[in-house]
């Protein structure tokens, strides 16, 4: 059991049957009245964000989230197939569970599969990926002074804004959290 006064960013707790991850917390001690903990929490199953306050003495059970490294194999229509590289067990997840978390992930790449009580609720791609540009317009000489970007499609099918000097066939590094171009490889 974790008391509200022990909350930290990223911690997961079970509140009213929901698994909540703490995004932000703040201990507030007003001049008059009792202290309280103001929190901003995200429901890890459906993604909803809630702001609530708790008394510091309130206790909640800590939610055990399992993060397992698995290899993304392929997509088969509406299903995405993953394999545990230790036991070779395969898991098929629907597109609702996966969401858009695989838009920068190629086949045979490693991802983290997050589950709570045996049911998978999210896929965490690697933080940075290196992908090849498959389609982009050529940049024109003299256009680089403005720091402008152009749209490009990478080998996973996702659209990324890249600088004008990037061409077809170039490998680039992308931050999967924001979808931003970082550098050429």
The end-to-end CA distance of the chain, in Å, is 47
The count of structural domains within the chain is 3
Distance, in Å, from the CA atom of 24 to the CA atom of 39, rounded to the nearest integer, reads 6
State the pLDDT confidence band at 185, using cuts at 50, 70 and 90: confident
Q: What is the CATH number of the domain that holds 24?
A: 2.30.30.30
Within this chain, do residues 16 and 39 fall inside the same structural domain, yes or no? yes
Within this chain, do residues 52 and 12 fall inside the same structural domain, yes or no? yes
State the pLDDT confidence band at 38, using cuts at 50, 70 and 90: very high
Query: Taking residues 91-105, what's their average pLDDT?
Result: 82
Q: What is the pLDDT of residues 128-139, one digit of tens each?
A: 888 888 888 887
Q: What is the CATH number of the domain that holds 74?
A: 2.40.50.140
User: Which tokens belong to 119?
Assistant: 């049911």
Domain residue limits at 29: 2-60
User: Taking Cα atoms as reference points, which of 103, 77, 108 lies closest to residue 158?
Assistant: 103
Within this chain, do residues 51 and 69 fall inside the same structural domain, yes or no? no
Distance, in Å, from the CA atom of 165 to the CA atom of 36, rounded to the nearest integer, reads 53
Within this chain, do residues 119 and 149 fall inside the same structural domain, yes or no? no
Within this chain, do residues 163 and 146 fall inside the same structural domain, yes or no? yes
Task: Give the residue from 25, 40, 60 where a domain finishes.
Answer: 60
Within this chain, do residues 77 and 117 fall inside the same structural domain, yes or no? yes
Within this chain, do residues 73 and 117 fall inside the same structural domain, yes or no? yes
Residue 142: its pLDDT value, please? Answer: 60
Within this chain, do residues 9 and 51 fall inside the same structural domain, yes or no? yes
Query: Taking residues 40-55, what's their average pLDDT?
Result: 87
User: Taking Cα atoms as reference points, which of 120, 117, 83 lies closest to residue 99?
Assistant: 120
Within this chain, do residues 136 and 180 fall inside the same structural domain, yes or no? yes
The per-residue DSSP string of the chain comes to -EEGGG--TT-EEEETTEEEEEEEEEEE--SSS--EEEEEEEETTT--EEEEEE-TT-EEPBP-EEEEEEEEEEEETTEEEEEETTT--EEEEEHHHHTTTTTT--TT-EEEEEEETTEEEEEE--SEEEEEEEEEPPPPTTGGGGT-EEEEEETTS-EEEEETT--TT-EEEEETTTTEEEEE-
Q: What is the pTM of this model?
A: 0.69
Does the structure show a pLDDT above 70 at 114? yes
Distance, in Å, from the CA atom of 51 to the CA atom of 36, rounded to the nearest integer, reads 13
State the pLDDT confidence band at 5, using cuts at 50, 70 and 90: confident
Within this chain, do residues 7 and 55 fall inside the same structural domain, yes or no? yes
Within this chain, do residues 120 and 149 fall inside the same structural domain, yes or no? no
More confident site: 47 or 11: 11
Within this chain, do residues 47 and 75 fall inside the same structural domain, yes or no? no
């Amino acid at each position: 059991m974790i008391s509200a006064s022990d909350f930290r960013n990223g911690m997961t707790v079970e509140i009213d049957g929901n698994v909540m991850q703490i995004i932000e917390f703040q201990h507030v001690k007003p001049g008059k009245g009792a202290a309280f903990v103001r929190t901003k929490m995200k429901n890890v199953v459906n993604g909803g964000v809630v702001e609530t306050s708790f008394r510091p003495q309130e206790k909640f059970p800590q939610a055990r989230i399992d993060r397992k490294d698995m290899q993304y194999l392929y997509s088969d229509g509406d299903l995405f197939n993953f394999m545990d590289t230790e036991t070779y067990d395969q898991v098929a997840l629907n597109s609702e569970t996966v969401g858009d978390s695989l838009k920068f992930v190629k086949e045979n790449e490693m991802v983290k599969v997050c589950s709570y009580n045996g049911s998978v609720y999210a896929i965490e791609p690697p933080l940075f990926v290196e992908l090849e540009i498959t389609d982009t317009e050529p940049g024109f000489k003299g256009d680089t002074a403005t720091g402008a970007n152009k749209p490009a499609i990478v080998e996973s099918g996702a659209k990324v804004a890249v600088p004008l000097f990037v061409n077809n066939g170039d490998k680039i590094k992308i931050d999967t959290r924001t979808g931003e171009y970082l550098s050429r490889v």
